[in-house]
Amino acid sequence: MSLTFNLEADQQLTREVVIAVLKASGVNCIVEEEWGLSCNFPRSNMLFAFRNNNNSFPTEVLAEGISSPALWKVGARLSFTYVVANYDDCGADLHLFLNNLMELNSAYFILSFQYEGVYAIRDEKGFKIFEKF
């Protein structure tokens, strides 16, 4: 069984920014893929994948449960697949990634659990966590 958190971000979240955030989060073995980037976080072994939009996916937010439509278009989709046995470490790594992202870039984003429930949002109103992850 796996648990996947999805992050949908605006166009400010570029490949270069993601690489910088991953490195700031302690990830060194980043794999360049045809479709984007992948890696595992060293502490938790959480699997990470990044895809930026090159007209290959819809630009509207897919996450269900937001009270009003996002005022921005999705330019990047990231996934964080937890290793259930390392749940707490995965959560700590995801929090570290988000903190580093907010320090290094001003991208708006929505974090959801498998696109079915919103856990956190960063938008023009700031950053808010709705559910523990």
What's the confidence (pLDDT) of residue 56? Answer: 74
Tokens of 60: 């509207």
pLDDT value of position 53? 79
- Residue 117: enclosing H or E segment and its boundaries? strand 117-123
Residue from 111, 107, 101, 100 nearest 124 by CA:
107
Q: Which regions in the chain score pLDDT beneath 50? A: none
d(CA 64, CA 105): 25
Looking from the CA of 72 toward its CB, the CA atoms found within 13 Å total: 18
Q: What is the pLDDT of residue 112?
A: 97
Angstrom distance (rounded) from CA 91 to CA 18? 18
Tens of pLDDT, residues 4-40: 999 999 999 999 999 999 999 999 999 999 999 999 9
**CB neighbour class for 50 (10 Å; exposed up to 12, middle 13-18, buried from 19):** buried
For residues 75 and 35, the answer to whether their CB atoms sit within 8 Å is no
Contacts of 42 (CB under 8 A, 6+ apart): 26, 27, 28, 29
pLDDT at res. 65: 83
Give the pLDDT confidence score for residue 70 in this predicted structure: 82
